[in-house]
């Protein structure tokens, strides 16, 4: 049977980090990650900056390794949700594919048993209420070149996209600002035209 866990160099490295963690501390960390995955908004981090600093000391990890640990653990649970994996299958594949120690793989399976329903339900909500583009604002401006001797002014277009999403029935609005040079805007326009052509072909 093909593996549902997509292995990568970063996941292998994360597996080594997980294998070296204290047996009593890893379940608490993984449960916290799973708990946050059942909530929204989607970009909510499982730990605050202060909590991460404490974790670095408690787990004897540097900042980069802790970040990899959290991101990889999140990814594994996301893959489990995407493939609707059975806990026993998840445990076996983590052991066989990534080389996780039996106890650590078992921890993933147990956390998945407790959180699968909430994580999958949250994924469904995201698919039913995706992020929508609600508003577009733009302006043009000139930016001086870094070399003042050139006395060159670079035209720039600034776009602000107003995005709308839903969390537990409540509207969440956010703005994303992007800046384009003439060439970048031209390339963006060509991609939009290609997308429009594909949409037209589906009609």
**pLDDT averages per 10-residue partition of the chain, 203 residues:** 77 95 94 90 78 95 95 93 93 95 97 94 70 85 61 81 73 83 89 83 68
Please indicate, yes or no, if residue 13 is contained in any of the structural domains: yes
Domain end: 106, 127, 148, which one? 127
pLDDT of 154 reads 79
**Do residue 121 and residue 38 come from a single domain?**
yes
**Is 67 within a domain?**
yes
If asked whether residues 76 and 119 sit together in one domain, one would say yes
Q: Does residue 64 sit in the same domain as residue 102?
A: yes
Q: Collect all residues with Cβ–Cβ distance below 8 Å to 192 and sequence separation of at least 6.
A: none
Rounded alpha-carbon distances, angstroms, from residue 180 to 91, 140, 150: 46, 10, 21
**Looking at the DSSP assignment, which residues form a beta bridge with residue 155?**
142
**Residue at 1 is within a domain:** no
Residue 83 and residue 140 in one domain: no
* pLDDT computed for residue 194 by the predictor: 85
Domain shared by 50 and 65, yes or no: yes
Question: Per-residue pLDDT tens for 75-125?
Answer: 999 999 988 999 999 999 999 999 999 999 999 999 999 999 999 988 877
pLDDT at 155: 85
Look up tokens 């730990």; give the residue. 47
Note whether 51 and 32 are same-domain residues.
Answer: yes
Question: Which of 127, 160, 188 is the endpoint of a domain?
Answer: 127
Whether residues 85 and 175 fall in one domain:
no
Q: Are residues 116 and 19 in the same domain?
A: yes
Structural domain range at position 175:
132-201
List the beta bridge partners of residue 142.
155
Total number of domains constituting the chain: 2
In a domain, 81, yes or no: yes
Last residue of a domain, one of 127, 149, 180: 127
50 inside domain: yes
| pLDDT (0 to 100) of residue 131 | 72
Please name the residues in contact with 152: beta carbons below 8 A apart, sequence gap of 6 or more.
Answer: 144, 145
30: nearest Cα among 98, 114, 90, 99: 114
Q: Are residues 123 and 137 in the same domain?
A: no
pTM here is: 0.64
- Single out the residue of 160, 165, 102, 153 nearest to residue 136, CA to CA: 160
For residue 132, the model assigns a pLDDT of 80
- Looking at the structure, do residues 71 and 140 belong to the same domain, yes or no? no
pLDDT of residue 147: 55
Same domain? 160 vs 66: no
90 assigned to some structural domain: yes
pLDDT, position 152 = 66
SS3 203: coil
Residue 93 lies in a domain: yes
User: What letter would DSSP give residue 129?
Assistant: S
DSSP character string of 28-68: HHHHHHHHHHTSSSTT--SS-HHHHHHHHHHHT--HHHHHH
15 and 109, same domain (yes or no): yes
SS3 of residue 133 by DSSP: strand
């Amino acid at each position: 049977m093909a593996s549902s866990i997509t292995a990568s160099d970063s996941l292998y490295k994360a597996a080594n980090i997980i294998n070296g963690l204290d047996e009593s501390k890893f379940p608490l960390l993984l449960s916290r990650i799973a708990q946050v995955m059942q909530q929204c908004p989607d970009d909510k981090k499982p730990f605050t900056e202060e909590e991460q600093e404490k974790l670095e000391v408690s787990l004897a990890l540097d900042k980069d390794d802790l970040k990899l640990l959290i991101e990889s653990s999140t990814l594994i649970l996301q893959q489990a949700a995407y493939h609707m994996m059975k806990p026993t299958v998840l445990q076996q594949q983590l052991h066989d594919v990534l080389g996780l120690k039996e106890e650590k793989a078992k921890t993933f399976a147990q956390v998945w048993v407790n959180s699968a329903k909430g994580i999958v339900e949250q994924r469904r909500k995201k698919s039913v209420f995706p992020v929508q583009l609600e508003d577009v604002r733009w302006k043009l401006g000139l930016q001086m070149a870094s070399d003042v001797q050139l006395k060159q002014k670079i035209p720039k277009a600034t776009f602000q996209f107003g995005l709308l999403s839903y969390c537990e029935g409540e509207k969440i609005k956010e703005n994303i600002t992007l800046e384009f040079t003439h060439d970048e805007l031209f390339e963006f326009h060509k991609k939009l035209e290609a997308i429009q052509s594909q949409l037209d072909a589906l009609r």
